[in-house]
Amino acid sequence: MILEMIWHTNTSLIQTQSPPEHPYFCQAYDFMIAWLHGKEEFTLHTSGSTGTPKDILIRRSQLTSSALMTGAALDVQKGTRALVCLNIGYIAGIMMLVRGMELGWELSIIEPSSNPLLNFEEPDFDFVAMVPLQLSTCLSDEMTGIEVNNLGKILLGGAPVGIHLQKQIDLLTVPVYQSYGMTETVSHVALRKLNGSAGENDYNVLPGITFGLDERGCLFFSGAVTNEEKIQTNDLAKITSENTFTWLGRADNVINSGGVKIILDKVDEVVAEVLYDSGYENNFFSWFAADEKLGQKLILIIQKSEENIAVELLLDEIRKRISTYETPKHVYFVKEFIKTPTDKIDKRRTAFEIFKKISDKSSKP
């Protein structure tokens, strides 16, 4: 075990610990000490993955309510051994610290990395929160793949779970949950179980949360975690019962192509299935380009791999599973995707760089 890369603490221990020398652990220490001293308000940063990054002020009561709600929903109470491997500069990581203090957890904190289990010889935890990329990397690494079943319960958030990862999750014996939430709702307000006999397609809204749809069909939430304020989202959904909903996609991921509205998230689901069935594991996303006739033209952006992808065969297979309107009109390949500070794909910037390179080439004599 690489001891200097792991910081262990809890609410009792931290009161006798000296501030860690490691800057990242010191950041966690400062937040936890401020919490234990009763600080009432905290400035949190949004990631910028769905809009312009911004700072928002969150009250202590909201953070406490969220922690208690998670503890009850996932049955992770006092004594839980938790791995903190998400960035504590953002809500997902901060909430792991708050849960640790409010619920009496034993915390093992490490700096964020694509494979957090490499920090441990024999990881043995009761609970961990990850982004899908981290879980995928852990499962794909021969050194850590077998250790994932020692993580107790796994909470995923921050990005959709792709079909390849879902197939891997289906084989796990530990329960895996996908969360729905954002900084403004102080982490998740809904959960769905991804594996086992109780695997679900719909999200279950947590007790104490009021939700509904606006005139666009987009979700809104309110409750103690929002300080009873109504938080309006851009997420299109279908309400399936008094406490469940199906997520359809983001309203700002809807394009108008020749008068036809296309939900890009729906296209992504079909493309993911086609790539998986074709034996490809490339990262990708659907997007749009300006077009004189259509206004917005549907395109597909795929991360390059050593293996060449037969584009026409790929598009033909997509066309068999979705309408012609929802079939990408062009495929672009890029070496790397541009990422946000929380390691999500920055689709807008990635697409912008593609179009900029095309424009620069065409303008050269």
- Asked if residue 50 has pLDDT above 60, the reply is no
Task: Note the pLDDT of residue 362.
Answer: 66
Residues 244 and 117 in one domain: yes
Examine residue 253 and state whether it is found in any structural domain, yes or no.
Answer: no
**What range does the domain containing 323 cover?**
258-360
**Same domain, residue pair 181 and 230:** yes
Whether residue 183 is predicted with pLDDT greater than 60 in this model: the reply is yes
Pick from 51-55, 129-133, 216-220: least confident: 51-55
Instruction: Give the number of C-alpha atoms closer than 13 A to the C-alpha of residue 200, restricted to the C-beta side.
Output: 19
**Per-residue pLDDT tens for 74-93?**
999 999 999 999 999 999 99
Whether the predicted pLDDT of 343 surpasses 80: no
Angle between helices 163-170 and 132-140 (to 10 degrees): 60
Integer-rounded Cα Rg, in Å, for the chain is: 22
pLDDT score of 357: 87
Q: What is the pLDDT of residue 3?
A: 43
Residue 89 lies in a domain: yes
Label residue 58 by pLDDT band (50, 70, 90): very high
Over 70: is that where the pLDDT of 11 sits? yes
Q: Could you read off the pLDDT of 188-214 as tens digits, one per residue?
A: 999 999 998 877 889 999 999 999 999
| 121 plus 264 within the same structural domain | no
Q: What are phi and psi of 313, to 5 degrees?
A: -65, -40
Phi-psi region of 257 (alpha: psi -120 to 50; beta: other; left: phi over 0): beta
What is the Cα–Cα distance from 110 to 105, expressed in whole angstroms?
15
Q: Are residues 153 and 287 both part of a single domain?
A: no
Same domain, 158 and 23: yes
Per-residue pLDDT, averaged over 157-170, amounts to 89
The per-residue pLDDT for 2 is: 43
Asked if the model's pLDDT at residue 1 lies above 60, the reply is no
In this model, does residue 350 exceed pLDDT 80? yes
Please give the Cα distance from 359 to 357 (Å, whole number).
5
Assess whether 21 and 92 both reside in one domain: yes
Coil, strand or helix at 190: strand
Q: For residue 7, give the CATH number of its domain.
A: 3.40.50.12780
- Tell me: do 180 and 311 sit in the same domain: no
Into how many domains does the chain fold?
2
Neighbouring CB atoms inside 10 A of 150's CB total: 15
Here the CATH number for the domain that contains residue 281 is: 3.30.300.30
Residue scoring higher pLDDT (30 or 162): 30
Do 125 and 197 belong together in one domain? yes
